[in-house]
């Protein structure tokens, strides 16, 4: 019966994702080993390939969880603010993004370090998850720029997200930065406020 098989597969998938997540969190993406995973999961090496195409598939599953938690963390931080001006929300989002990266450095890095063979390409849910994160950012931007059209908001959203991402990325990179964390927060506030004031004045992005 195919039902039982699928159930076992699903269980193994979950187990593997949990183990892999722990490994990535503790040792980083590059320390992930098929044999180690199999040993810990109590299955054969080949079993991994019964439920995932390859290790990249497994990593994508881990990243899916991380992405989800990241989104929850950021939107949670905004909700906790209550009713404040949109700019404050955006700044808080950036800080929350930084906070997540600081608290989960290796899981966060794994989000961007997966190497995907161009044929397998990006899973749909990856884009969906990203879209939800973008939507959280877009909302305050719309409040600030009621006349901007969807495309303009989208560009501002991407620009803001990318900027904050860049600041966090290079800020946490020991080899480039050495900047203490509170300075990184200042940078985020600086760029976000700048972008907002700019977007207000010149609606044309």
Q: Is residue 197 close enough to count as binding its own copies by CB under 8 A? A: yes
Window contacting its own copies (CB under 8 A); options: 3-11, 38-46, 47-55, 120-128: 120-128
Q: Is residue 164 close enough to count as binding its own copies by CB under 8 A? A: yes
What does the H/E/C string look like for the chain? CHHHHHHHHHHHHHHHHHHHHHHHHHHCHHHCCHHHHHHHHCCCHHHHHHHCCCHHHHHHHHHHHHHHHHHHHHHHHHHCCCCCCHHHHHHHHHHHHHHHHHHCHHHHHHHHHCCCCCCCCCCHHHHHHHHHHHHHHHHHHHHHCCCCCHHHHHHHHHHHHHHHHHHHHHHHCCCCCCCCHHHHHHHHHHHHHHHHHHHHHCCCC
**Measured from the CB atom, is 83 or 121 closer to its own copies?**
121
Residue 9 contact among its own copies, DNA, none, beta carbon within 5 to 8 Å by kind? DNA
**Measured from the CB atom, is 32 or 136 closer to DNA?**
32
Give the residue, chosen from 15, 56, 132, 163, that forms a contact with DNA under the rule CB under 7 A.
56
Q: Is residue 178 close enough to count as binding DNA by CB under 7 A? A: no
**Measured from the CB atom, is 10 or 143 closer to its own copies?**
143
Q: Is residue 118 close enough to count as binding DNA by CB under 7 A? A: no
Smallest separation, CB 128 to its own copies (Å): 13
Binding positions for DNA, rule: CB under 7 A: 1-2, 4-5, 8-9, 32-36, 43-50, 54-56
């Amino acid at each position: 019966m195919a039902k039982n098989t699928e159930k076992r597969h699903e269980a193994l998938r979950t187990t593997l994702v949990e183990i892999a997540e722990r490994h990535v969190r503790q040792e980083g993406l590059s320390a992930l080993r098929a044999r180690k995973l199999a040993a810990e999961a109590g299955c054969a090496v080949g079993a991994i390939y019964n439920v995932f195409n390859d290790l990249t598939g497994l990593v994508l599953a881990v990243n899916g969880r991380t992405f989800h938690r990241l989104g929850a963390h950021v939107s949670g931080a905004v909700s906790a603010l209550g009713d404040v001006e949109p700019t404050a929300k955006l700044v808080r989002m950036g800080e929350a993004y930084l906070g997540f990266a600081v608290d989960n450095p290796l899981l966060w890095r794994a989000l961007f370090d997966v190497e995907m063979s161009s044929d397998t390409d990006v899973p749909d849910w990856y884009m969906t998850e990203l879209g939800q994160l973008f939507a959280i950012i877009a909302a305050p931007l719309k409040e600030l720029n009621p006349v901007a059209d969807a495309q303009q908001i989208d560009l501002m959203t991407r620009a803001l997200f990318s900027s904050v991402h860049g600041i966090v990325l290079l800020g946490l990179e020991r080899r480039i930065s050495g900047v203490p964390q509170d300075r990184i927060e200042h940078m985020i506030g600086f760029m976000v406020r700048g972008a907002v004031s700019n977007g207000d004045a010149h609606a044309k992005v």
